[in-house]
Amino acid sequence: MPELNFDKVLASLKLRLDEVVDESEFDEILKEYAGKESLLSAERKNLSNLSNEDKKVYGETLNNVNKSIVTNIKKAKEEFINNKYASLEDKENEDITIDWITNTGTHRHILSQVMDEVVNIFASIGYKVAYGPEVETSWHNFDALNTPDWHPARYESDTLYTDNDLETLLRTQTSTVQIRHMEENDPPVYIVAPGRVFRSDQLDATHSPVFHQLEGLAVDKNLKFTDLKGTLEYFVKQFFGEDIETKFIPHFFPFTEPSAEVLVKWKNGEWLEILGCGMVDPNVLNHVGYSDEYQGFAWGVGIERLAMLKYQVDHIKNFYDNDLRFLEQF
Amino acid sequence: MKILKSWLNDWIDIETISTDDISEALESLGFEIESRTDKTPNYKNITVGKVLEIYEHPNADKVRVTKVDVGSKIYEIVCGAWNFDVGAVVPVALPKSEIKDGFKIDKRDIRGVESNGMICSASELDLWDDHAGILKLSDETKLGSDFSKIYNSTDTLWEIGVTPNRGDCMSHLGIARELSNYFNLTLKENSQALKSNIESVIKVNSGKIKACNSYQSIEIENFTLSDSNLNIRYRLSSIGVRVINNVVDYTNYVLHDIGQPLHAFDRDKLFGTISVRFAKDNENLKTLDEQERKLTSEDLIITDNDKPIALAGVMGGYDTEVTDTTTNLLIESAYFDKVSIMKTSRRLNLISDASIRFERGIDFNLQKQGLQRFVNLFENDQEINYSSIIDSSKNGISYDSISFDKNEIEQILGVELDDNFIRNTLIKLQIESEVSDKKIKFESPSWRYDLERPIDLIEELAKHYGFNNFESTLPIGNNLNSTGDYWDKRIYLSEKLSSTNFYEIQTLSFTDSLSNELFTPEKKSVSVINPIDQTQENLRTNLLTSLINTYKFNLESNGKSHRYYEINNVYDDSKHKKFKMIPNQEYSLGLLIPENETVEDRKGKTKTNNINTLANVIKNLFPFSELEHLTRPGFHKNYSYLIKLDNKILGFMGKLSYKIQSELELHDSLYIAQINTENFNFDQLKDFTYKPLSAYPFIKFDLSFSVPNDFQASDLINCIESILSDNENNISIFDNFTNEKTRNLGIRIVTRSYEKTYTETESTEILEMIVKEAESKFKIKLNKKDENAT
């Protein structure tokens, strides 16, 4: 029985594969060792000269050798490609920290971002955004909100007026939008109204003549104090995180009853006021001509306050100085 | 308002309740806790002693030597104060004791005499500021007793916020009443009946006016002006009231105890009948602080037969004041209308503990008790003679009983309250009521002004039930998944701008008149009649000035030149488009792009912008908008445009005029725009239809035309678009070269048929058609055939 030295063939293949410098050589090697002109092919042609038994045995041997040649070449090719790209990637080693430190803010003002966030939370439970004028009538800012003309809040030292009869002013609260919206829309009402409000204060670390509030109002049949609690607890958890503790303590606002303040337990254990709320006073609903089968609740939250708490901003003045070093951070 | 635990204990037994529990109760009842201080003596081992002898110091004039009996022993002590005599009972700091702030007292040689400690003043024991000398104690105080045990030296002080609707809680009694329900305790009775022993001299008449419902007085004869007792002085000073003398201290004490303001007159300076009326305009009164006050017909005053003697509820008169020589008193206890007191106190800027209480409304039935408490306190300290109470009341105030359906409680609160809870709460709060199966009937007590409607009582019940004991439910509002046009536009604009290197800013809405004039002289400013200062007198009519200021500020202080935008209102004096009575307000977008822009990239330092950069931003925000040249004030003569959408003016844009640029000392040119967001709907921005994609390959031509300087590229693009209107096209300008003689415009045309692949011949035909049409229509010339038909 003719016998080719298979070990020698495989050893020479190994040497050949080790010397490869270009990917295209693998196809040539395959041709050389397993193609038509290869030693293996020649042996296969000789099979017909053998006895049936030898044919079977030797044929099987040839098949096995062929298999290992093909496998070896395939493996070597794979390894060659892997090494080639690995060494290519090895050479590329940029200092990733070079641009890592530059500011990556969204370029949106933080007050706008906080307003968006609050709006989105309420939008997710079916509230629409309402909008009202900033220069308002005293009636909408005070009278309609159950704040009669002798009330201290109306004094000129707190409020900026735009006419000598004190009939128009820069709104001191976004609650005015409650009235504007209800005058124009029938119940049910589910709105939030983010916007600017004004006070007679010089801009400094703790005061600003302009700041932002978000007013919320829900009026429908069967809205109750328990709904007010659930709604605001939902907001607080969405904004500050699921684990935040909340409590409601009684308070007084002329246009809600019962009225409450919502406090959250801060990281240091301190309880901080974050919003005022209450069931809409029946007088307010009367002023806008809603029938008494409707009732609801309202709340107001200070946007600067939320931003200061969440991002530990220390001075309210920062929001209005528009220093790039501040703007870039958000 | 400040309250003391020991003082509350006069009204309800809360000594054994922990201060934490009391804090929690106060807060849950709606009294915000501003601070809590646990008070302990700021001294150690102070003893009570009696001065037995006083003699001169052999070597010093300014001090005396005393012998002091402290019960067990007699000590020689040198003392520098002169306000006491033999027999005085005083606090003594013996050797090994400490006075204020840990200052140690020991035996000490004072100019050759050994002093065995010191006799103390109130300030040295950190009780209150008193520079009159040593603290004199009651003669009955047991000698040798521990000083800290003879008054409430260990105590808790709360500073709490009382909401403006709860005038009845502006006293220890008021707070105790609220707490009595919380802790289920019984409110004590503290006033004792009076036994008068003299006749009154002065008559009292509360007048015909409604503003004084009740005026009552009592006269006291043969009293001695002195210090009030230690405990009273300590309590008052603890809650921040200055201690003065027994008369002033006791009136203050009654006010903080039960909430009734009192005023003491020197009776012998009064004549005839005391009455109450409104002042005449320009009538004068010299008040206690020695100021001459010019009064108006809105000021409520107290008079006798001759003259005004007090500004009712606000401040007493100087001429009838109690002084060292006063021997007989008349004490006023009255009920004045809150609005009238408020007007006077605000106008004259005189705000006192009394005026604050009148403003919030005091108990209209408390006047007699006020006088009783005053006399009771006085009687404890010294023997006095007093008259019966003279009462001139009108009974002009009464409350009707109110009845409502019990199920209203559940309708408002979402929880049914138990009948026993309702009954007990109302009893503890001393609100007369009947609770039946279906109804609740109640009558507001004389101290409550806030219980006028069923909702008021429901709130009261909710509060005492505890807000935190209610369950929480989450109702869902509109099932619309939209925040509305106003908000959608805001989000759309800021997302687009912030992603193209604009920084959003928020600036104040105020400006001076010059800034408004600069860009919007056609608009009349809305001005504030009581501005914060001159630079904040007007509301801004445009957003451009604050954008420029922000640009300039950051360029100068941070060395960076950036793009900015702001979305906020501008205001002008014309009528509001929708609402009556108020001025016009337009929710607007302002934009600024600097000529040289800082690029936050380590490779390039700046990027140069021009008018096209701004035009591109506008086109990107409003894809269907058009520009129309119109020179506006403050803008470059040529680079000034109206922005229009569907023939409606959205706003204006352009380049800052060189004149203003130079006036503002700006090195670089600025490109600015303002858009009224109310002049378009969010839907208009999305109002377009999909253009189908051709399945065939594109052909592309790059052409260069020689054009005049005032030629508009968009005309050429539109012309080619219409020639190729059956195709899918992408036509753009890739080059615009200008020198003094010529202008070359490079245009790139990429087009595909929806029906076929163009052959080379067809492609050439198309090219020739375009060139021919363009040249004849615009009288321009193709420079060089540079086509690449593929």
Q: Where are the alpha helices (DSSP H) in B187-328?
A: 230-238, 246-258
Between positions 335 and 354 of B, the ones with CB within 8 A of A are 339, 342-343, 346
Return the CA Rg of chain A. Answer: 40
Whether residue B605 has pLDDT greater than 90: no
> Mean of the pLDDT values across residues B590-594?
98
Partner-chain residue, chosen from B480, B528, B585, that has the shortest CB–CB distance to A133: B585
Whether residue B121 has pLDDT greater than 70: yes
pLDDT of residue A96: 82
The dihedral over CA atoms of B628, B632, B634, B635, expressed in degrees to the nearest 10, equals 30
Average pLDDT, chain B: 92
Cα-based distances in Å from B665 to B121, B328, B669:
67, 77, 11
Rounded distance, CA B457 to CA A257, Å?
10
pLDDT of residue A103: 63
Cα-based distances in Å from B756 to A143, B551, B727:
73, 54, 11
> Mean of the pLDDT values across residues B203-224?
92
Do residues B329 and B223 make contact, with C-beta atoms less than 8 angstroms apart? Answer: yes
Closest CA to B541 of B514, B560, B580: B514
> Mean of the pLDDT values across residues B509-529?
91
Whether residue A226 has pLDDT greater than 50: yes
Nearest CA of chain A to the CA of B37: how many Å?
16
> Mean of the pLDDT values across residues A234-246?
94
Whether residue B485 has pLDDT greater than 90: no
Closest CA to A316 of A212, A216, A240: A212
> Mean of the pLDDT values across residues B277-298?
94
Whether residue B601 has pLDDT greater than 90: no
Rounded distance, CA A329 to CA A312, Å?
13
pLDDT of residue A3: 67
Assign B105 to helix, strand or coil. Answer: strand
Whether residue B787 has pLDDT greater than 80: no
Rounded distance, CA B17 to CA B31, Å?
18
Do residues A217 and A327 make contact, with C-beta atoms less than 8 angstroms apart? Answer: no
pLDDT band at B15 (very low <50, low <70, confident <90, very high): very high
Nearest CA of chain B to the CA of A160: how many Å?
6
Rounded distance, CA B163 to CA B361, Å?
12
Closest CA to A162 of A196, A126, A206, A200: A200
Cα-based distances in Å from B55 to A234, B48, B80:
77, 21, 12
Specify the DSSP element, H or E, that contains A100. Answer: none
Whether residue B43 has pLDDT greater than 80: yes
CA angle B53, B57, B61 (to 5 degrees): 120
β-strand pairing of A189-198 with A128-129: parallel
Nearest CA of chain B to the CA of A150: how many Å?
7
CB contact under 8 A, A261 and B32: yes
pLDDT of residue A149: 76
Rounded distance, CA B509 to CA B527, Å?
11
> Mean of the pLDDT values across residues A214-232?
96
Average pLDDT, chain A: 91
pLDDT tens-digit series, residues B365-378? 999 999 999 999 98
> Mean of the pLDDT values across residues A188-205?
94
Do residues B566 and B506 make contact, with C-beta atoms less than 8 angstroms apart? Answer: yes
Closest CA to B331 of B267, B378, B270: B267
- Using a CB-CB cut-off of 8 Å, the residues of chain A touching B480 are 126, 128
CB contact under 8 A, B458 and A258: yes
CA B703 to chain centre: 67
The tally of CA atoms less than 13 A away on the side-chain side of residue B334 is 32
Which of A245-259, B123-137, B168-182, B531-545 has the lowest average pLDDT?
Answer: B123-137
pLDDT tens-digit series, residues B572-588? 999 999 999 999 999 99
pLDDT of residue B460: 96
- What ipTM was predicted for this assembly? 0.85
| b/e burial code for range B190-203 (CB count within 10 A of at least 16 → b) | eeeebeeeeebebe
pLDDT of residue A276: 96
Q: pTM of the full predicted structure? A: 0.85
Q: Where are the alpha helices (DSSP H) in B239-290?
A: 246-258
- Burial of residue A89 (CB within 10 Å: 0-12, 13-18, 19+) is exposed
Taking CA–CA distances from A136, the nearest residue in chain B reads: B582
pLDDT band at B788 (very low <50, low <70, confident <90, very high): very low
pLDDT of residue A267: 86
Residues 6+ apart with CB under 8 A from B165: A252, B360, B449, B450
pLDDT tens-digit series, residues B521-544? 999 999 999 999 988 999 999 999
Rounded distance, CA B655 to CA B676, Å?
18
pLDDT of residue A44: 83
pLDDT tens-digit series, residues B719-776? 999 999 999 999 999 999 888 888 999 999 999 999 999 999 999 999 999 999 999 9
A4 Rama sector, left if φ>0, alpha if ψ -120 to 50, beta otherwise: beta
pLDDT tens-digit series, residues B676-695? 999 999 888 887 888 889 99
**Percent of chain B that is helix, strand, coil (3-state, to 5):** 30, 30, 40
Rounded distance, CA B249 to CA B261, Å?
12
Closest CA to B189 of B1, B376, B361, B18: B376
CA angle B621, B625, B631 (to 5 degrees): 105
Rounded distance, CA A274 to CA A301, Å?
7
> Mean of the pLDDT values across residues B658-674?
96
Distance from first CA to last CA of chain A, Å, rounded? 84
> Mean of the pLDDT values across residues B544-562?
95
pLDDT of residue A218: 97
Angle between the N-to-C axes of helices B172-182 and B19-28, in degrees from 0 to 180, rounded to the nearest 10: 90
pLDDT band at A157 (very low <50, low <70, confident <90, very high): confident
pLDDT tens-digit series, residues A314-325? 999 999 999 999
The tally of CA atoms less than 13 A away on the side-chain side of residue B400 is 5
pLDDT of residue A42: 84
pLDDT of residue A105: 79
Place of tokens 């990556």: A104
pLDDT of residue B481: 64
Q: Which two tokens stand for residue B134?
A: 């040593």
| b/e burial code for range B393-406 (CB count within 10 A of at least 16 → b) | beeeeebeebebeb
Do residues B86 and B51 make contact, with C-beta atoms less than 8 angstroms apart? Answer: yes
Is A261's Cβ below 8 Å from some Cβ in B?
yes
pLDDT tens-digit series, residues A275-309? 999 999 999 999 899 999 999 999 999 999 999 99
Do residues A329 and A103 make contact, with C-beta atoms less than 8 angstroms apart? Answer: yes
SS (H, E, C) B666-726: CCCCEEEEEEEHHHCCHHHHCCCCCCCCCCCCCEEEEEEEEECCCCCHHHHHHHHHHHCCC
Assign B199 to helix, strand or coil. Answer: coil
pLDDT of residue A102: 66
- Burial of residue A3 (CB within 10 Å: 0-12, 13-18, 19+) is exposed
> Mean of the pLDDT values across residues B656-661?
96
> Mean of the pLDDT values across residues B139-150?
91
- Which of A94, A165, A180, A226 to probe the B interface (max B CBs under 10 A)? A226
> Mean of the pLDDT values across residues A4-13?
85
CA A145 to chain centre: 37
pLDDT tens-digit series, residues B88-113? 999 999 999 999 988 999 998 988 89
- Using a CB-CB cut-off of 8 Å, the residues of chain A touching B163 are 250-252
Is A117's Cβ below 8 Å from some Cβ in B?
no
Partner-chain residue, chosen from B479, B498, B571, that has the shortest CB–CB distance to A135: B571
Residues in chain B: 790
- Which of B487, B563, B597, B602 to probe the A interface (max A CBs under 10 A)? B487
Specify the DSSP element, H or E, that contains B363. Answer: none
Which of A155-159, A168-172, B241-245, B694-698 has the lowest average pLDDT?
Answer: A155-159
Would you tell me how many other CB atoms lie within 10 Å of the CB of residue B150? 17
Rounded distance, CA B597 to CA B561, Å?
5
* Cβ–Cβ pairs < 8 A, chains A and B: 237
Whether residue B789 has pLDDT greater than 60: no
The dihedral over CA atoms of A270, A271, A274, A276, expressed in degrees to the nearest 10, equals -160
Task: Identify the DSSP state of A48.
Answer: G
Higher pLDDT among residues B133 and B255, named by residue: B255
Rounded distance, CA B731 to CA A183, Å?
51
CB contact under 8 A, B502 and A107: yes
pLDDT of residue B790: 38
pLDDT of residue B785: 56
pLDDT of residue B192: 87
Between positions 161 and 180 of B, the ones with CB within 8 A of A are 163-166
